[in-house]
């Protein structure tokens, strides 16, 4: 009993300390509000570009953090030039391409500050920002920032509370650490491409940079965990997040099938290795996705499509039986579904008690009544592009509402603001940094 009470008091002390820390942290940046966002008062220094890192920092911004995106004065984030398509350029005196759709998808709720890290003034500026930041996210090759005076060891001396998240292709150590990481390369190398595609076809990549997105999600959750731990210890830490490990961790049951059962995976198109029927089927005019995940759902499916006699066939009694006789069952279902159009089957299956769906294109996706009802797509005002539509935050909270406070920024749009308000630089110092090339024009 004494041990239990001691443990309880310790846990209570930790909780109290964490609550006090969060209160002080928020008050140091903003005035209290009724329902502040979870990361209100947290400042993120974002040294990332392309997708995995920017996606991570954007999600932190959606949760209320102030995200300061550091970009090179000449060109900034690579994806600013990744187009077409570009959002319409509204300034007839501006002969640039406008804003790339790629950049716009991953950089809302951020401020852009242009810094040349190769200059002494640029490095000092970043050191000053580190003193006033909670989190730094970077995706340089291991050792690159160390050589520029921006590595974790040096910055943690400047700010021991700093959470320093590194996103790389292969991690900070090991024989592949110095290799650059690209989504499609990791898809190939980490097993995903091997299992994606039709059984008799070539390996194919997923239609979006899913490894980058997955890694960004892992990095975000790691940063949030480190924030909680900092509330207990008062200290930051280094986070080492790689595309390779994130992708392998996302292999889920495919990885487990190999590790536990020694079963090598293979491409199966849209079908499932352990459930039948669970795949796309052709109809008379297009396709439909059927997901009968258990025996009860299979029975409902058979009744709805006029295949009730299959329920008396010993080959299809249980899911294990259906997996064993996959080819025969799939051919019977194909023969039936190709007799009618997709619209007929969607109406016939509606409310039947098992999952199914049409194969929507992107236009049909954004016309989906559920997405419209949930308000996922938001329209925002952009300084150069005017009114643009973006996919907003996908998670909803009862205690606060995620919002797009800032549109994706123009290159360097907030340099003066951040240097004045965060660092207290006067206009003479800012102009001197601009003249010597430490910041952009």
Is residue 387 a part of any domain in this protein?
A: no
What's the pLDDT score for residue 99? 86
Q: Are 263 and 323 in contact (CB under 8 A)?
A: no
> 283-338: per-residue pLDDT in tens?
999 999 999 999 999 999 999 999 999 999 999 999 999 999 999 999 999 999 99
Residues 49-78, mean pLDDT to the nearest whole number: 97
Residues 50, 155 share a domain: yes
Is residue 271 a part of any domain in this protein?
A: no
Indicate which CATH number applies to the domain containing 193: 3.40.50.10540
- Asked if residue 402 has pLDDT above 70, the reply is yes
Is residue 403 a part of any domain in this protein?
A: no
What's the pLDDT score for residue 61? 97
The dihedral through the CA atoms of 248, 250, 251, 253 has a sign that is positive
Task: Report how far apart, in Å, the C-alpha atoms of 256 and of each of 85, 193, 276, 332 are.
Answer: 40, 17, 19, 31
Residues 199-213, mean pLDDT to the nearest whole number: 96
Residues 35-48, mean pLDDT to the nearest whole number: 95
Is residue 400 a part of any domain in this protein?
A: no
Residues 75, 127 share a domain: yes
Residues 49, 24 share a domain: no
Residues 94, 15 share a domain: no
What's the pLDDT score for residue 98? 78
Is residue 12 a part of any domain in this protein?
A: yes
90 pLDDT band, cuts 50/70/90, is low
Beta bridge partners of 89: none
What is the side-by-side strand order in the sheet with 135-138? 111-114, 66-71, 43-47, 135-138, 163-168, 238-242
Please, what is the average pLDDT of the chain? 91
CA-to-CA distance for 417 and 425, rounded, in angstroms? Answer: 10
Is residue 188 a part of any domain in this protein?
A: yes
Q: Nearest 5°: phi and psi at 56?
A: -60, -50
Q: Locate 173 and state its tokens.
A: 């150590």
Domain that holds residue 11: 1-31
Q: Are 409 and 111 in contact (CB under 8 A)?
A: yes
CA-to-CA distance for 227 and 161, rounded, in angstroms? Answer: 9
Pairing mode, strands 287-291 and 278-282 = antiparallel
- How many helical (H) and strand (E) elements, i.e. helices and strands, does the chain have? 17, 13
Cα of first residue to Cα of last residue in the chain, in angstroms, is 67
Between residues 386 and 58, the one the model is more confident about: 58
Residues 76, 222 share a domain: yes
What's the pLDDT score for residue 408? 96
Residues 151-175, mean pLDDT to the nearest whole number: 98
Residues 209, 340 share a domain: no
CA-to-CA distance for 208 and 31, rounded, in angstroms? Answer: 40
| Number of domains comprising the chain | 3
- Asked if residue 24 has pLDDT above 90, the reply is no
CA-to-CA distance for 329 and 4, rounded, in angstroms? Answer: 58
What's the pLDDT score for residue 94? 53
Residues 292, 227 share a domain: no
Residues 69, 25 share a domain: no
- Asked if residue 32 has pLDDT above 50, the reply is no
Q: Locate 168 and state its tokens.
A: 């790389």
Q: Cβ neighbours of residue 188 under 8 Å, at least 6 residues apart?
A: 194, 203, 205
Distance of CA 426 to the CA centre of its chain: 37
Is residue 390 a part of any domain in this protein?
A: no
Ramachandran assignment for 101, one of left (phi > 0), alpha (psi -120 to 50 degrees), beta (any other): alpha
Q: Of the listed 46, 77, 183, 212, which one is catalytic?
A: 212
Q: What is the DSSP letter of 358?
A: E
Residues 209-227, mean pLDDT to the nearest whole number: 98
- Asked if residue 2 has pLDDT above 70, the reply is no
Residues 362-382, mean pLDDT to the nearest whole number: 96
Which of 358, 378, 396 finishes a domain?
A: 358
Q: Cβ neighbours of residue 383 under 8 Å, at least 6 residues apart?
A: 407, 410, 413
Residues 184, 49 share a domain: yes
> 102-120: per-residue pLDDT in tens?
999 999 999 999 999 999 9
Closest C-alpha among 126, 166, 116 to residue 149? 126
- Asked if residue 12 has pLDDT above 50, the reply is no
Residues 89, 184 share a domain: yes
Residues 424, 319 share a domain: no
CA-to-CA distance for 244 and 208, rounded, in angstroms? Answer: 17
- Asked if residue 26 has pLDDT above 50, the reply is no
Is residue 380 a part of any domain in this protein?
A: no
- Asked if residue 211 has pLDDT above 90, the reply is yes
Residue 362 DSSP SS3: helix
Q: Locate 130 and state its tokens.
A: 């580190």
8 pLDDT band, cuts 50/70/90, is very low
What's the pLDDT score for residue 405? 95
Q: Cβ neighbours of residue 243 under 8 Å, at least 6 residues apart?
A: 52, 167, 168, 169, 170, 181, 183, 186, 190, 211, 212, 215
Between residues 15 and 207, the one the model is more confident about: 207
Tell me whether residue 128 is one of the annotated catalytic residues: no
CA-to-CA distance for 183 and 193, rounded, in angstroms? Answer: 11
- Asked if residue 431 has pLDDT above 90, the reply is yes
What's the pLDDT score for residue 268? 94
H helices of 285-413, where? 295-305, 319-324, 326-337, 342-349, 362-366, 369-374
Indicate which CATH number applies to the domain containing 309: 3.30.1540.10
Residues 121, 69 share a domain: yes
Task: Report how far apart, in Å, the C-alpha atoms of 63 and of each of 43, 44, 67, 137, 422 are.
Answer: 11, 12, 11, 16, 20
């Amino acid at each position: 009993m004494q041990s239990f009470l001691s443990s309880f008091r310790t846990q209570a002390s930790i909780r109290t300390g964490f609550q006090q820390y969060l209160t002080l942290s928020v008050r140091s940046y903003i005035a209290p509000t009724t329902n502040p966002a979870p990361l209100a008062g947290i400042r993120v220094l974002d040294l990332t570009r392309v997708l995995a890192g920017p996606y991570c920092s954007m999600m932190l911004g959606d949760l209320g953090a102030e995200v300061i995106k550091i970009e090179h004065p000449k060109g900034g984030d690579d994806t600013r030039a990744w187009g077409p398509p570009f959002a319409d350029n509204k300034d007839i005196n501006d002969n640039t391409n406008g804003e790339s759709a790629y950049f716009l998808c991953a950089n809302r709720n951020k401020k852009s500050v242009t810094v040349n890290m190769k200059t002494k003034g640029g490095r000092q500026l970043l050191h000053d920002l580190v003193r006033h930041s909670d989190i730094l996210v970077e995706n340089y090759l291991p050792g690159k920032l160390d050589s520029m005076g921006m590595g974790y060891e040096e910055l943690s001396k400047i700010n021991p509370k700093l959470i320093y998240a590194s996103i790389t292709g292969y991690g900070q150590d090991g024989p592949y650490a110095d290799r650059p990481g690209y989504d499609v390369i990791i898809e190939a190398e980490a097993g995903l491409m091997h299992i994606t595609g039709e059984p008799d076809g070539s390996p194919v990549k997923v239609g979006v940079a899913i490894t980058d997105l997955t890694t960004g999600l892992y990095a975000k959750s790691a940063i949030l965990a480190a924030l909680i731990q900092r509330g207990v210890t008062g200290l930051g830490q280094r986070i080492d997040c790689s595309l390779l490990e994130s992708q392998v961790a996302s292999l889920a049951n495919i990885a487990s099938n190999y590790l536990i059962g020694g079963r090598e995976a293979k491409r199966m198109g849209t079908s499932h290795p352990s459930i039948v029927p669970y795949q796309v089927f052709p109809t008379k005019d297009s396709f439909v996705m059927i997901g009968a995940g258990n025996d009860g759902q299979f029975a409902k499916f058979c009744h709805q499509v006029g295949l009730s006699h299959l329920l008396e066939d010993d080959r299809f009694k249980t899911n294990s039986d259906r997996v064993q006789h996959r080819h025969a069952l799939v051919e019977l279902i194909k023969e039936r579904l190709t007799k009618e159009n997709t619209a007929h089957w969607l109406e016939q299956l509606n409310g039947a008690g098992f999952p199914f769906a049409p194969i929507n294109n992107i236009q049909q996706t954004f016309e989906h009544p559920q997405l419209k009802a949930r308000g996922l797509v938001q329209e925002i005002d952009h300084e150069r592009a005017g009114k643009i539509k973006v996919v907003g935050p996908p998670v909803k909270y009862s205690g606060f509402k995620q919002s797009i406070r800032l549109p994706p920024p123009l290159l360097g749009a907030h340099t003066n603001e951040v240097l004045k308000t965060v660092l207290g630089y006067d206009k003479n110092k800012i102009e001197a940094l601009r003249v010597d090339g430490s910041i952009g024009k």
